[in-house]
Amino acid sequence: MDLTIRPEAPEDRRAVEELAREAFWNHHVPGCDEHYLLHHIRSSADLIPQLNLVAVLDGRIVGHILYTRSWVVDKAGSRHGTLTFGPLSVHPDHQRRGIGKALIAHTRDLARGMGHRAIIIYGHPGNYCGSGFKSCAHYGITDAQGLYPSSLLVLELYPGALDGIAGVFAESIDFQVDPGGLEAFDRGFPPKEKAVTPGQEEFFINSHSFVQPDVQR
């Protein structure tokens, strides 16, 4: 597979939004909001432009990833910088072919070279543990309620990167999107039928599951 990974160009934006819509439609919920989310994040002050990349196969964009700043807020209120990616999109015709993993590996190395310490995401462990992500419980990193979600995953970019750092994970405020804005934005795309699927229940279970905090690092 002759895959090229390069920065997203302005002329790629509509194709990337269409890609995200195809990748996530009816996946987590009926319909999706990921195409609107990435449209919104592109104008965020927390976007890392150097880590906004597309994967191209045979001249076609088949994958996309972008990163924003995030933080671990410790008990003293100090914020320790980390990175978060998402949405990570791969076209349904090309999923399970290693494109997502290639985007993660490529950007992981770029982020390490830029001096970042860790990547923290919400995602399905089955999709990301193979790329080195581990449970947040290993690092003492919680959600805003002080819990350890099964879906909150951490990747240190070098050994000991998070030594002495624990607390609450905080992602960019720009991950919050207006449902009304989503509806208006989605009307600019070809109509697609929303549906309930078994995979949505799997997503619900995973996203509402938690790890016991007795795991020792």
Task: Summarize pLDDT for 66-102 with one digit per residue, the tens.
Answer: 999 999 999 999 999 999 999 999 999 999 999 999 9
Residue pointed to by tokens 């600019």: 188
Please say whether the structural domain 3-207 has been given the CATH code 3.40.630.30. yes
Task: Summarize pLDDT for 17-39 with one digit per residue, the tens.
Answer: 999 999 999 999 999 999 999 99
Please answer whether residues 180 and 208 qualify as being in contact, where contact means their C-beta atoms are separated by less than 8 angstroms: no
- pLDDT (mean) for 107-116: 98
Residue 167, amino acid: G
For residue 14, pLDDT over 60 is answered with yes
Return the pLDDT at 179.
Answer: 86
Return the pLDDT at 217.
Answer: 46
Residue pointed to by tokens 């290993």: 138
